[in-house]
Amino acid sequence: MTQQRAKLRTRVPARLAASAVLALSLTAGAVATTAPAATAAEMPCKPRVYYYVYKSSGVNFRTGPGTGYKSKGILHKDDWGKKVGTKGSWIKLKLGQKSKSGLAKGTTGWVSKSYVSDCVPMQLD
């Protein structure tokens, strides 16, 4: 009986480890296949039309084109919107989705061009 117990003790951890590896690989595979589709659906890519915050988090989304205007809230890295206007070094955006700080989709405001970038489509040869 002691030999059987010893065999059982070595088999159970091995089976648990194999199950854990299988579960992790299935989860990782699901994440890898769904993540790019979600990103592509969230931000359309049209150069000089759609812009996203790329430089830092904590960018002021203002009521007008300058630091003297009141902040409506904060934009974080990867928040994005459609360009609806420009003035000097400022760009007016209409948010394309709810911002990470909670600003509603469709909210318009101004952000310094130094914190945003338009998307660049990949060219496949």
- pLDDT digits 0-9 by tens, 35-53: 333 343 467 888 878 998 9
Q: Mind listing the pLDDT tens digit for each residue in 56-89? A: 778 999 999 999 999 999 999 999 999 999 999 9
Q: Is 51 exposed, middle or buried (0-12, 13-18, 19+ CB in 10 A)?
A: buried
Q: How far is CA 13 from CA 4, 7, 18, 40, in A?
A: 15, 11, 9, 41
How far, in Å, CA of 59 to CA of 55, rounded? 9
Residue extents of the structural domains in the chain:
1-38, 50-118
Whether residue 25 is predicted with pLDDT greater than 60 in this model: the reply is no
The CATH number, out of the four listed (3.40.710.10, 2.30.30.40, 2.40.33.10, 2.30.30.100), of the domain defined by the range 50-118: 2.30.30.40
